[in-house]
């Protein structure tokens, strides 16, 4: 890791373990030079494209536009000759929109600064280094400072931008993006995540044609529909080989992520706050910080890109708002949530009956979901009235929490602090606290409005209500929900020339609220949620180590959702629960065991009425609890590898996690479709130590029978411990495991026998554990 400035050539070179990023000052312009696999310092000069004569502005002012329209810029501006989409568009008081940025100065320092009021990655002097380059528009006095940071051992470049108005008049930022990467286009493809409620973050991949291609949100949240992530990959790039550039935006509101394939077959990649609906008045002397964006380059496939994001986010983002929060590292308690168990129909007795049964099975926390406050008997009312409804919670909240604690369970609570129901005392008192355009009836979604969190007095009042609830009992977890997006953008408190700031000011209010919460309750386990997974983004991970992935808890639907989520986010962040069948969203019936395997790839918990599910399901819970304790540290901290994808092949899904030292691994295989004449399926595990010998064990008899010469071993029936090798003939009938070298396992693969009687039935799954001898 390191950042160098080459004075003579005016080149900046940022190195990560496997990549180099180079930019240069050419005739005052900050140009992009190279980003990809590591290159030698000595050769970098060669790459600084010397623009051929007609395109060199100082030589050929006549065709200056040709230069501006083709050069690779680090932070392109709009309005003075670059016809591609830019990062920055400003407007002066006179209504003019041109801006041209020239290099002013730079500084390189150890460590990484935070962003005022915004989530961002963090590092210290020992593990990170930052380059800040200041550019200035001489005419308006707008100073633009671009920050680039690198982290020890991580192939990522983290960027952000600050705008300072040092000019004589006010300016308006109309477009203020966080990142641009120009590159040559070699038939790249665009990978994005799309979805809907209960179907979040499905992977989409398509060739990039000419023109602009964008995913975005104007819903005031990162959204169910599109995601603040994109990757530009070579046409032949797979999980294990080929080039890919991944882009991720550390923000939870409106965003744009897009590419533009130009007339000259270059590709401009842009990411930042969506300019639609955005405008920021930058007063003389004022400054504005655009959120942070991350680029990851991998020359060895999508898998390495994902693992790089996972490492960056695990080590330098998650719990950034509260660095001492124990859940940054510690296992999360296995929770049981009453939403799908009771919906709004519960009281103290019902919750205690769930706690009684949960305690018997080893579950560690009860979470009381929506419906405990105000007049909230359905989702039509009560939001904003954060006072306990003692008709339901008889004896009060403290009594309930104490009773749950007495049974050995922690207690958690659901809240939706950003919202207000028209049928609430809060709304009757303060109708102008809802976001709305004066004189126009605002659109209800789920019969609720959004609070105007751009206003400090509203943030303060809501926070004091939340704090009172959390201080009244031993509450150790909060599920922070947000069940609708923003529209009717109007604030009763902002002046006309600042209404375009509302979306972003709202996000700053949300971040402020969560920061206040964590400052006062530093050991709280916070789980973000938004109608399922509409705000599963890096911004929220700065505050909460986990986010509810989706309201769709069906194990098979979750395969694609969790695969898409894991392309950027570590498994430790994915809220995943076992729910009852037929599944409430899709009606599918899956084995209880398989539901457990899929939830194991996330935070793990239950979302069902444990007092009412079939006895044979309930009987499996203690075993699942044991499984969680056995494997969770591996899942939480290990490296993730995608082995096969049901989304792609239509038949099976397989992923694995490997411990950092490669001494242990866990493979999860799910048979989604049963097929005729399907003797066995070959899977190719990854990430193991090729020279080490691994003991392979499986919870079903699906391995081994295809290999006559393997070294099998058996289990002691009583202790369950592996015993020494047994004669092959016997072992082939009884063994569930054998020993192979890492290279054999990865290169020759493992055969999963789907014909095994253990695999009879729909949607069966298998866990395979590998451990170095
Ligand atoms: C959202 C959440 C659910 C549940 C309900 C309660 O939909 O995603 O898990 O909390 O709200 O209203």
**Worst-scoring range by mean pLDDT, 83-92, 574-583, 607-616, 756-765?**
756-765
| Residue 416 CB–ligand 1 contact under 6 Å | no
Ramachandran quadrant class, 185 (left: phi over 0; alpha: psi -120 to 50; beta: rest): beta
| Average pLDDT of the residues in 288-313 | 98
Per 3-state DSSP, the chain is made up of helix, strand and coil in percentages (nearest 5) of 25, 35, 45
User: How far apart (Å, rounded) are the C-alpha atoms in residues 347 and 394?
Assistant: 7
| Residue 370 CB–ligand 1 contact under 6 Å | yes
Residue whose CA lies nearest to ligand 1 atom number 7: 531
User: How far apart (Å, rounded) are the C-alpha atoms in residues 438 and 451?
Assistant: 14
pLDDT of residue 748: 94
Query: What distance in angstroms lies between residue 474's CA and the mean position of ligand 1's atoms?
Result: 22
Nearest CA to 640 among 564, 541, 570? 570
Note the pLDDT tens digit of each residue in 6-16: 998 899 999 99
Query: What distance in angstroms lies between residue 343's CA and the mean position of ligand 1's atoms?
Result: 9
pLDDT of residue 53: 60
pLDDT of residue 704: 60
Residue whose CA lies nearest to ligand 1 atom number 12: 370
Q: How far is CA 416 from CA 184, 327, 623, in A?
A: 46, 22, 34
Residue whose CA lies nearest to ligand 1 atom number 11: 531
User: How far apart (Å, rounded) are the C-alpha atoms in residues 66 and 11?
Assistant: 23
Strand partners, 669: 654, 766
> 367, 369, 484: which to mutate for ligand 1, most atoms within 8 A of CB?
369
How many helices (H) and strands (E) in the chain? 17, 40
Note the pLDDT tens digit of each residue in 154-178: 999 999 999 999 999 999 999 999 9
Q: How far is CA 484 from CA 194, 276, 420, in A?
A: 18, 19, 11
Reported as a pLDDT band with limits 50, 70 and 90, residue 395 is very high
The catalytically annotated residue of 182, 551, 554, 609 is 551
Q: Is pLDDT of 733 > 50?
A: no
Question: DSSP of 614-675, one letter per residue?
Answer: -HHHHTTHHHHHHHHHHHHHHHHHSEEEEEE-HHHHSSEEEEEEE-TTSSEEEEEEEE-S--
Query: 345 catalytic, yes or no?
Result: no
| Residue 531 CB–ligand 1 contact under 6 Å | yes
Kindly state the percentage of the chain with pLDDT values over 70.
Answer: 95
Q: Is pLDDT of 638 > 70?
A: yes
> 199, 481, 534, 536: which to mutate for ligand 1, most atoms within 8 A of CB?
481
| Residue 414 CB–ligand 1 contact under 6 Å | yes
Tokens read off for 732: 């082939």
Note the pLDDT tens digit of each residue in 566-605: 999 999 999 999 999 999 999 999 999 999 999 999 999 9
Query: 653 catalytic, yes or no?
Result: no
Query: What distance in angstroms lies between residue 316's CA and the mean position of ligand 1's atoms?
Result: 29
Nearest CA to 149 among 133, 167, 128? 128
pLDDT of residue 186: 81
| Residue 412 CB–ligand 1 contact under 6 Å | no
User: How far apart (Å, rounded) are the C-alpha atoms in residues 24 and 4?
Assistant: 11
Tokens read off for 197: 């409620």
User: How far apart (Å, rounded) are the C-alpha atoms in residues 122 and 112?
Assistant: 6
Chain CA centroid to CA 515, Å: 19
Q: Ligand 1: which atom is nearest the Cα of residue 607?
A: 9
Note the pLDDT tens digit of each residue in 346-386: 999 999 999 999 999 999 999 999 999 999 999 999 999 99
Q: What is the CA radius of gyration of the chain?
A: 28
- Cis bond upstream, residue 643 (ω within 30): no
pLDDT of residue 49: 62
Query: What distance in angstroms lies between residue 423's CA and the mean position of ligand 1's atoms?
Result: 19
| Average pLDDT of the residues in 520-542 | 98
Three-state DSSP string of 518-536: HHHCCCCEEEECECCECCC
User: By the 8 A CB rule, do 103 and 287 touch?
Assistant: no
> 345, 372, 414: which to mutate for ligand 1, most atoms within 8 A of CB?
414
| Residue 379 CB–ligand 1 contact under 6 Å | yes
Tokens read off for 148: 């680039």
Average pLDDT, the chain: 94
pLDDT of residue 347: 98
Query: What distance in angstroms lies between residue 502's CA and the mean position of ligand 1's atoms?
Result: 26
Q: Ligand 1: which atom is nearest the Cα of residue 529?
A: 8
pLDDT of residue 48: 66
| Average pLDDT of the residues in 686-705 | 88
Neighbouring residues of 450: CB distance < 8 A, sequence distance ≥ 6: 220, 418, 419, 420, 434, 435, 484, 486, 506
| Residue 532 CB–ligand 1 contact under 6 Å | yes
**Worst-scoring range by mean pLDDT, 203-217, 423-437, 716-730?**
716-730
Neighbouring residues of 201: CB distance < 8 A, sequence distance ≥ 6: 193, 194, 195, 227, 533, 536, 561, 564, 565, 567
| Average pLDDT of the residues in 745-760 | 91
pLDDT of residue 58: 83
What are residue 271's phi and psi, to 5 degrees?
A: -150, 140
Q: Ligand 1: which atom is nearest the Cα of residue 548?
A: 8
| Residue 277 CB–ligand 1 contact under 6 Å | no
Q: Ligand 1: which atom is nearest the Cα of residue 369?
A: 10
| Residue 339 CB–ligand 1 contact under 6 Å | yes
User: How far apart (Å, rounded) are the C-alpha atoms in residues 554 and 538?
Assistant: 25
Note the pLDDT tens digit of each residue in 35-87: 999 999 888 877 766 555 667 888 888 889 989 999 999 999 999 999 999 99
Q: Positive or negative, the Cα torsion across 117, 118, 123, 129?
A: negative
Question: DSSP of 132-195, one letter per residue?
Answer: EEEEEETTTTEEEEEEEEEETT--EEEEEEEEEE-SSS-EEEEEEEEEEEEEE-SS-EEEEEE-
Coil, strand or helix at 406:
helix
The H or E element containing residue 211 is: strand 211-217
The catalytically annotated residue of 481, 537, 617, 639 is 481
Coil, strand or helix at 285:
coil
> 368, 529, 574, 579: which to mutate for ligand 1, most atoms within 8 A of CB?
529
Query: What distance in angstroms lies between residue 149's CA and the mean position of ligand 1's atoms?
Result: 37
pLDDT of residue 52: 59
């Amino acid at each position: 890791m390191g950042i160098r400035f080459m004075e003579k050539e005016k080149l900046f070179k940022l190195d990560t373990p496997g990549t180099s990023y180079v930019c240069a000052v050419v005739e005052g312009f900050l140009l992009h030079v190279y980003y990809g696999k590591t290159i030698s310092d000595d050769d970098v000069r060669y790459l600084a494209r010397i623009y051929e004569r007609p395109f060199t502005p100082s030589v050929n002012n006549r065709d200056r536009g040709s230069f501006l329209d083709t050069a690779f810029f680090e932070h392109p501006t709009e309005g003075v000759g670059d016809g591609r989409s830019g990062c920055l568009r400003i407007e002066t008081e006179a209504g003019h929109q041109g801006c041209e940025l020239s290099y002013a100065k730079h500084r390189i320092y150890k460590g990484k600064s935070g962003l005022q009021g915004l989530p961002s990655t963090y590092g210290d002097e020992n593990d990170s280094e930052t380059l800040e380059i200041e550019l200035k528009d001489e005419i308006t006095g707008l100073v633009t400072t671009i920050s680039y940071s690198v982290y020890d051992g991580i192939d990522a470049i983290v960027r952000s931008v600050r705008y300072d108005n040092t000019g004589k008049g006010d300016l308006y930022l109309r477009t203020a993006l966080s990142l641009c990467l120009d590159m040559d286009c070699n038939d790249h493809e665009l990978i994005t995540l799309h979805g809907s409620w209960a179907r979040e973050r499905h992977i989409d991949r398509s060739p990039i044609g000419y023109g602009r291609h964008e995913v975005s949100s104007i819903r005031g949240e990162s959204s169910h529909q599109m995601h603040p992530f994109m990757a530009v990959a070579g046409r032949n790039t797979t999980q294990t080989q080929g080039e890919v550039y991944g882009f991720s935006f550390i923000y939870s509101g409106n965003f744009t992520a897009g590419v533009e394939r130009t007339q000259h077959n270059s590709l401009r990649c842009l990411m930042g706050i969506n300019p639609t609906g955005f405008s920021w008045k930058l007063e003389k002397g004022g400054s504005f910080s655009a959120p942070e964006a991350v680029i990851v380059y991998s020359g060895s496939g999508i898998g390495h890109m994902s693992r790089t994001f996972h490492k960056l986010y695990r080590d330098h983002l998650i719990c950034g708002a509260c660095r001492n929060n124990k859940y940054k590292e510690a296992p999360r308690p296995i929770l049981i949530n009453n939403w799908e168990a009771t919906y709004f129909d519960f009281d103290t007795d019902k919750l205690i009956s769930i706690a009684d049964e949960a305690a018997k099975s080893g579950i560690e926390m009860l979470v009381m979901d929506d419906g405990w406050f105000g007049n909230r008997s359905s989702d039509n009312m009560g939001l904003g009235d954060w006072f306990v409804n003692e008709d339901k919670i008889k004896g009060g909240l403290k009594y309930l929490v104490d009773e749950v604690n007495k049974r050995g369970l922690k207690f958690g609570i659901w809240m939706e602090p950003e919202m207000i129901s028209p049928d609430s005392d809060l709304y009757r008192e303060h109708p102008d606290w809802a976001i709305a355009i004066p004189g126009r009836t605002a659109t209800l979604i789920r019969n609720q409005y959004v609070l105007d969190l751009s206003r400090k007095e509203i943030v303060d009042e809501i926070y004091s209500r939340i704090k009172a609830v959390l201080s009244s009992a031993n509450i150790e977890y909060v599920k922070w929900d947000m069940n609708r997006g923003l529209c009717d953008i109007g604030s009763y408190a902002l002046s006309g020339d600042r209404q375009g700031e509302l979306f972003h000011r709202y996000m700053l209010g949300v971040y402020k609220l969560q920061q206040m919460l964590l400052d006062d309750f530093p050991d709280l386990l916070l789980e973000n949620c938004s109608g399922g997974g509409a705000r599963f983004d890096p911004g929220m991970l700065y505050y909460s180590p986990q986010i509810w992935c989706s309201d769709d808890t069906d194990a098979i639907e979750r395969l694609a959702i969790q695969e898409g989520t894991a392309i950027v986010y570590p498994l430790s962040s994915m809220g995943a629960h076992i729910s009852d069948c037929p599944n409430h969203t899709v009606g599918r019936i899956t084995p209880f065991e398989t539901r457990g395997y899929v939830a194991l790839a996330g935070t793990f918990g239950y979302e069902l009425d444990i007092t009412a599910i079939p006895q044979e399901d309930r009987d499996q819970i203690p075993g699942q609890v044991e499984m969680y304790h056995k494997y969770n540290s591996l899942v939480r901290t290990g490296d993730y590898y995608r082995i096969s994808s049901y989304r792609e092949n239509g038949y099976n899904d397989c992923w694995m996690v490997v411990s950092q030292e490669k001494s242990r691994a866990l493979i999860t295989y799910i048979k989604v479709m049963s097929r005729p004449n399907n003797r066995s399926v070959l899977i190719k595990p990854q990430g193991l130590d090729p020279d080490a010998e691994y003991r392979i064990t499986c919870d079903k008899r699906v391995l081994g029978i295809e290999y006559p010469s393997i070294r099998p071993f058996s289990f002691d029936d009583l202790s369950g411990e592996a015993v020494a090798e047994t004669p092959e003939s016997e072992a082939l009938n009884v063994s569930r495991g054998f020993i192979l070298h890492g290279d054999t396992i990865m290169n020759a693969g493992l055969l999963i026998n789907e014909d095994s009687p253990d695999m009879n039935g729909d949607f069966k799954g298998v866990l395979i554990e590998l451990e170095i001898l």
